[in-house]
Chains A and B, each alone.
Chain A
Amino acid sequence: MDPVLDVDGLSVSFPGPRGTRLPAVEDLGFAVRPGETLAIVGESGCGKSATALALLGLLPANAAATARRLRIAGTELSSADPRSSPEIWRRQRGGRIAMIFQEPLTALNPVLTIGEQVAEAVRAHELVSWRTARGRALDLLRRVRLPSPERCLEAYPHQLSGGMRQRVVIAMALACRPAVLVADEPTTALDVTVQARVLDLIGEIQRETRAALVLITHDLGVVADRADRVLVMYAGRAVETRHARDLFAAPAHPYTRALLAARPRPGWTGPRPRLAEIPGRVPGLAERGAAGCRFAPRCASVLPDCHTLRPGPRPVAGGEAACHRVAETTEPEEPARAACA
């Protein structure tokens, strides 16, 4: 079954000082099959949100996106810049590929009722009357298990809780049964108790609609639980793309290993170990030289080549990793336990 979302060579840049362009995302490639969940994980500022927005052509006006190949739900997009063919991109958005945002409090229009905003999503792609659209909206609100959906139709966003609003956003995303769902940290703004239920809802919907899900997150726990495959990003580049089990079992890239090591072990009974840190900090947009591996300055097992030669992706069990060291050793780290709650 060929992938429903197939991206290769995706780059996004922003205007820098004195007319230069600064790379936020560099030469990113990944594919997602129907029903499959790809988690994109990395520290904030690594370009994962830019990637998500690029997929829907929602980048701000001053951003520039390019890609060697961009196929979404069967449509081959000639360029990653939505302005090149606005009508095609418009039909994609909400129709074939939909997005779930991070901030439920501000994601909804305060002066329109929930019903209007959900029905609107239906009418954007299907020529149906308002009455039919409202009916569909009601079904969608039931589908996302909102309490008393009839009243929600007439309610305004400020009358709903954060979790309820996120369910509305999900309902809107589902409106036209998109083939690809992009969720940009969908639960970060919610409290923990609500998070799990929202993620379950998304998973349930994905199984039912066989949609491909791109899940943007910085929470490794969520990745371990929900993701089939994982793409680890660092400073705009993919450092490792693997099956989730293989990644947690034997992280190939030093950065991935450092990320996993930085997690607290709830079950640990021994003396409380000092949490491992990654020295230095993520390079700002302006400090990303083209040559060499971006993680080199902070890498514990850095090699001379790392500073000069950019490591290409090398095959590893269940995927690939971009690191000069990968060729020689892939000995497993101490066994990774099941992810925390």
Chain B
Amino acid sequence: MSGSFSSARVPLGLRILRRPSGAVGSVVLALVGLAALSAEIVRPGDPLDMVAAPFLWPGTESSYPLGTDMLGRDLAAGLLYGARVSLLIGVVATAITLGIGVGAGALAGFYRGRLDQALMRTTELFQTIPPFLFALAIVAVLQPSLTTITFAIGVTAWPSLARIVRAEVLALRDGEMVQAAIALGAGDARILLLHILPNVLGPVLVSASILVATAILTESSLAFLGLGDPNVVSWGGMVGAGREVLRTDWYVAALPGLAIVAVVLGLNLLGDALADALDPRRTRR
């Protein structure tokens, strides 16, 4: 019936920006990235410094537009430097997850047989332990610090990704493209890296943005339970600290809470746009 309007392949970036969720998501993330980068310029010095009277409400004093917390620390500085830490934790933890998840998934899917069984049993094992409880245990055991938190989040979030990657690799593995490559005498590693993985990039990219979002949420939950890194300002830590004064000065916990919501929302929107843009069935102009 209606012919499809297959025009030239529009670059991925443009296709994302064309979608409303992609545009909004990218703008939000760009702002957060900017905040993280400009922290030194906008608010030089240590965000943990007690620079003013405590419990200054936002907007009451010009030099501290976002007010101060219970120890007189500038919330604006906290948010800026916090952006850096939260994004750092989110991205590095996700990198770890991608490393393990894609690795395990690809190997399981490609080699099948006993290796697949072994990897899948481990995936199942990790999936039956509640991820947050597992991360909690790791951080409490290894003493909370930036590295232990990032490691804990990264190590407990990979099973679902491994399953997705395995499914994709399984599908590709028997496709003609791979058979052709084998026929040309390409070694396993070459096939895996050059042929299969690039095609798995789509779904991995989509789940990557969701993973970063989840990592940031997990970090804030750990901080809420008192397992945040005390030497570093992070949004999760600020919300955890703000909890004590929630009834009287709710802005202390609200502002970093909103920042978390913004980033996670932005990442999810970007994830949706990516999924949409990369989905072969719905290639639109």
Q: List A residues at the B interface (Cβ < 8 Å).
A: 14, 17, 22, 24, 45, 47, 49-50, 284-286
Contact = CB atoms under 8 A, between A and B. Distances in A.
B3 interface: yes
Nearest to B5: A17
Contacts of A50: 1
B2 interface: yes
Nearest to A17: B5
Interface of B: 1-3, 5, 285
A24 B1 CA distance: 7
Contacts of A284: 3
A241 to B, nearest CB: 21
B10 to A, nearest CB: 14
B3 A286 contact: yes
Contacts of A24: 1-2
Contacts of A49: 1
B3 A45 contact: yes
B5 A14 contact: no
Contacts of B1: 14, 24, 45, 47, 49-50
A123 B110 CA distance: 51
Given A14-B2, A284-B3, A285-B2, 7 more contacts: A14-B1, A17-B285, A22-B2, A24-B1, A47-B1, A49-B1, A286-B5
Contacts, number: 17
A285 B4 CA distance: 9
B199 to A, nearest CB: 27
A9 B1 CA distance: 19
* Top 7 A-B residue pairs of the complex, sorted by shortest distance between their CB atoms: A14-B2, A284-B3, A285-B3, A50-B1, A49-B1, A24-B1, A285-B2
A287 to B, nearest CB: 9
Determine which residue in B2, B5, B285 has the highest number of CB atoms from chain A within 10 A of its CB, and name it.
B2
A310 B154 CA distance: 68
Nearest to B1: A50
B237 to A, nearest CB: 49
A238 B285 CA distance: 32
Contacts of B2: 14, 22, 24, 285
Contacts of A47: 1
A14 B3 CA distance: 10
Nearest to A53: B1
Nearest to B7: A17
A24 B2 CA distance: 7
Contacts of B285: 17
B198 to A, nearest CB: 32
